[in-house]
């Protein structure tokens, strides 16, 4: 039979590939420029644009698929029965992780605009493949915890901030670059780390211990070292556990199994057992939570950044598809109802980016007031941004119709990944309770947040009214724990509203304030009120290959 006309492909969008992921994100570019000194702005823009071009390349997108189609495998023993406790990764994983390290995603500390440029890079890199961002995040975040011990910091910080990726397990002193993991959670305690039962027994050499216990979640078990919590004689304490000891022997680090996770499948999460495991104390005995909290805060910010990145990629894919797809006599992007959905998604994405980059800028500032701001704003942002990620990803997938439910589109991987950051580093209730703790113990934190919000006072009546509602919520402390999520949501929204009113185009700020603060919004996306310039909102969010 002649002819195969039924297989002619029409009305299918081209792949979103071969573009600069950073430069195509107007909200991100403007945020970076806002928080970067002019004397380094060209350098930062060039660096991030180079990373954006890599992230948008077909080669890296293929590596991302491979890394997820071939998840890590655990090898507990060699052929002769000796324990090896090694995790095997697909070569694509190593290529992606190596590029992330070489791009400086573990090296924010001490660089001009280091946290802003690194935050923007992390947001971009998450859009390629989120799994390899876990070890990048923990390596970056280990630095403030290690600084509790100047000797350890001097030894390890140059390796952690290095742009050299060395995947071999050998003594850290022989490596130009190293990765860090974390092990806090145990079976019986979960987020209640003070319930940990892992024991630390002091050795004769000052500051050294042996650990005995079992960690329920240990992230990135192929790393060179880990920060863990254990019960020392004077209470819960932070320790550094190297994978390989200085003499070249393997530390006791028994990987019992890898978790079979919903998403984040390219990354290994393990249960590990310590049994006479050598460790070095970080900070003082009994002050483990205080020591490791700097790492926790930094990884919580990365949760917000990661979710902002996932939302941005989901929105970019939805708008790209709708720009090229025709239905019912015209392009989908021009249909009023689809435009409403896309604009609604774009608002969520831009608000997340604006708040996450503002937090990174506070890290760069480093002043007392900015530290107070972070104490309250980080858990609030982590709570709200990560909560919004999953519904954004699901709605964006629906914009592609049935195509969004097919693995080839890439949207299912985003959907599976979208809940992760909400549960990592403390789920929603933990973040809400942390906000309450900061309100009670650190009044300067609330003052710093209200000062930030107040910079937009009088610019939008809906924002002003939402701030008054927040004051009302704060004034009523009876039963506050049961209302903590409501309070944290309002705090995050008014922070986002203040930033957008001051820095985003009027069309974006107007739509955000009307829907998120003014209450003119339904229970699902695509229910923005009439009279808004939604076409401009969508166009601003459109990725331009």
- In tens, the pLDDT along 207-246 reads 999 999 999 999 899 999 999 999 999 999 999 999 999 9
* pLDDT score recorded for residue 188: 80
Helix segments in 442-505, DSSP class H: 443-454, 461-475, 484-503
Same domain, yes or no: 44 and 127: yes
Same domain, yes or no: 259 and 343: no
**Average of per-residue pLDDT across 277-286:** 97
Same domain, yes or no: 325 and 229: no
Tell which of 251, 286, 321 closes a domain.
286
Residues 313-369 pLDDT 10s: 999 999 999 999 999 999 999 999 999 999 999 999 999 999 999 999 999 999 999
Same domain, yes or no: 425 and 444: yes
Please report which helix (H) or strand (E) contains residue 208, including its range: strand 208-219
Same domain, yes or no: 114 and 133: yes
Cα→Cα distances 241→134, 160, 175, 272, 501, Å: 18, 15, 16, 12, 47
Which CATH number goes with the domain that contains 140? Answer: 2.40.110.20
Tell which of 251, 270, 286 closes a domain.
286
* pLDDT score recorded for residue 2: 56
Same domain, yes or no: 277 and 415: no
Same domain, yes or no: 219 and 147: yes
Tell which of 286, 304, 334 closes a domain.
286
Would you call 274 helix, strand, or coil by DSSP?
strand
How far apart are the two ends of the chain, measured CA to CA in Å? 40
Same domain, yes or no: 404 and 263: no
Assess if residue 461 is contained within a domain: yes
Same domain, yes or no: 310 and 405: yes
Rounded Cα–Cα distance for residues 329 and 324 (Å): 13
Rounded Cα–Cα distance for residues 288 and 164 (Å): 30
Assess if residue 19 is contained within a domain: no
With b for 16 or more beta-carbon neighbours within 10 A and e for fewer, the 423-448 pattern comes to: ebbbebebbbbbbbebbeeeebbbeb
Assess if residue 436 is contained within a domain: yes
215: left (phi over 0), alpha (psi -120 to 50) or beta: beta
Q: Are 184 and 292 in contact (CB under 8 A)?
A: yes
Cα→Cα distances 461→415, 498, 512, Å: 36, 11, 13
Q: Take residue 485 and report the two structure tokens written for it.
A: 């999520």
Query: Is 514 exposed, middle or buried, given 0-12, 13-18 or 19+ CB atoms closer than 10 A?
Result: buried
Residues 46-84 pLDDT 10s: 999 999 999 999 999 999 999 999 999 999 999 999 999
Four-residue CA torsion sign, 245, 251, 253, 254: positive
Cα→Cα distances 497→169, 214, 500, 516, Å: 47, 44, 5, 8
Residues 431-464 pLDDT 10s: 999 999 999 999 899 999 999 999 999 999 999 9
Query: Is 269 exposed, middle or buried, given 0-12, 13-18 or 19+ CB atoms closer than 10 A?
Result: buried
Assess if residue 11 is contained within a domain: no
**Percent share of the chain, pLDDT over 70:** 99
Assess if residue 4 is contained within a domain: no
> Which residues constitute the domain of residue 319?
290-541
Assess if residue 382 is contained within a domain: yes
Same domain, yes or no: 279 and 309: no
Same domain, yes or no: 473 and 445: yes
Assess if residue 24 is contained within a domain: no
Assess if residue 273 is contained within a domain: yes
| Tally of structural domains, the chain | 2
pLDDT value at 5 more than 80 = no
Same domain, yes or no: 247 and 301: no
Which CATH number goes with the domain that contains 526? Answer: 1.20.140.10
**Average of per-residue pLDDT across 36-55:** 97
Q: What is the DSSP string of 323-378?
A: HH-EETTEEGGGSHHHHHHHHHHHHHHHHHHHHHHHHHHHHHH--HHHHHHHHHHH
């Amino acid at each position: 039979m002649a002819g195969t006309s039924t297989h002619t492909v029409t009305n299918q969008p081209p792949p979103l590939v071969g573009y600069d992921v950073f430069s195509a994100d107007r909200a991100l570019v403007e945020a970076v420029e806002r928080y970067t000194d002019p004397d380094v702005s060209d350098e930062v823009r060039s660096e991030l644009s180079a990373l954006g071009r890599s992230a948008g390349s077909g080669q890296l997108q293929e590596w991302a698929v491979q890394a997820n189609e071939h998840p890590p495998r655990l090898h507990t023993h060699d052929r002769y029965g000796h324990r090896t406790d090694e995790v095997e990764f697909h070569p694509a994983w190593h290529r992606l992780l190596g590029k992330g390290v070489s791009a400086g995603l573990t090296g924010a500390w001490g660089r001009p605009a280091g946290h802003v440029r690194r935050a923007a890079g992390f947001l971009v890199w998450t859009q390629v493949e989120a799994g390899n961002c876990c070890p990048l995040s923990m390596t970056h975040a280990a630095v403030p915890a290690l600084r509790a011990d100047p000797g350890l910091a001097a030894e390890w910080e140059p390796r952690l901030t290095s742009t050299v990726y060395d995947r071999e397990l050998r003594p850290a002193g022989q490596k130009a670059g190293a990765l860090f993991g974390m092990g806090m959670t145990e079976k019986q305690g979960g987020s209640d780390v003070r319930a940990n039962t892992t024991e630390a027994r002091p050795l004769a050499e000052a500051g050294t211990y042996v650990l005995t216990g079992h960690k329920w979640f240990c992230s990135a078990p192929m790393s060179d070292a880990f920060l863990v919590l254990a019960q020392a004689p004077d209470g819960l304490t932070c320790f550094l556990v190297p994978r390989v000891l200085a003499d070249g022997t393997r530390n006791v680090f028994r990987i019992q199994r890898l978790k079979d996770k919903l998403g984040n499948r390219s990354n290994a999460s393990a249960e590990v057992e310590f049994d006479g495991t050598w460790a070095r104390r970080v900070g003082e005995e009994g002050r483990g939570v205080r020591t490791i909290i700097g790492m926790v805060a930094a990884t919580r910010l990365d949760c917000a950044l990661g979710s902002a990145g996932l939302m941005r990629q989901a929105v970019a894919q939805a708008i790209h598809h709708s720009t090229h797809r025709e239905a019912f006599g015209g392009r989908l992007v021009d249909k009023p109802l689809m435009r409403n959905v896309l604009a609604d998604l774009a608002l969520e994405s831009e608000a997340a980016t604006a708040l996450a980059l503002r937090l990174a800028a506070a890290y760069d500032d480093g002043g007392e007031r900015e530290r107070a701001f972070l104490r309250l704003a980080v858990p609030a942002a982590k709570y709200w941004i990560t909560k919004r990620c999953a519904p954004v990803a699901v709605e964006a997938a629906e914009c592609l119709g049935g195509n969004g439910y097919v693995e080839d589109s890439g949207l299912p991987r985003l959907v599976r990944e979208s809940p992760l950051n909400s549960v990592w580093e403390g789920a929603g209730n933990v973040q809400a309770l942390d906000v309450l703790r900061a309100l009670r113990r650190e009044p300067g934190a609330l003052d710093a947040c209200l000062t930030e919000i107040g910079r937009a006072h009088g610019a939008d009546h809906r924002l002003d009214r939402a701030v008054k509602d927040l004051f009302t919520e704060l004034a009523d402390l009876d039963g506050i724990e049961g209302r903590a999520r409501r309070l944290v949501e309002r705090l995050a929204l008014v922070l986002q509203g203040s930033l957008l009113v001051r820095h985003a185009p009027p069309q974006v700020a107007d739509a955000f304030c009307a829907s998120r603060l003014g209450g003119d919004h339904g229970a699902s996306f695509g229910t923005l009120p009439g009279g808004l310039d939604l076409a401009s909102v969508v166009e601003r969010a459109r990725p331009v290959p």
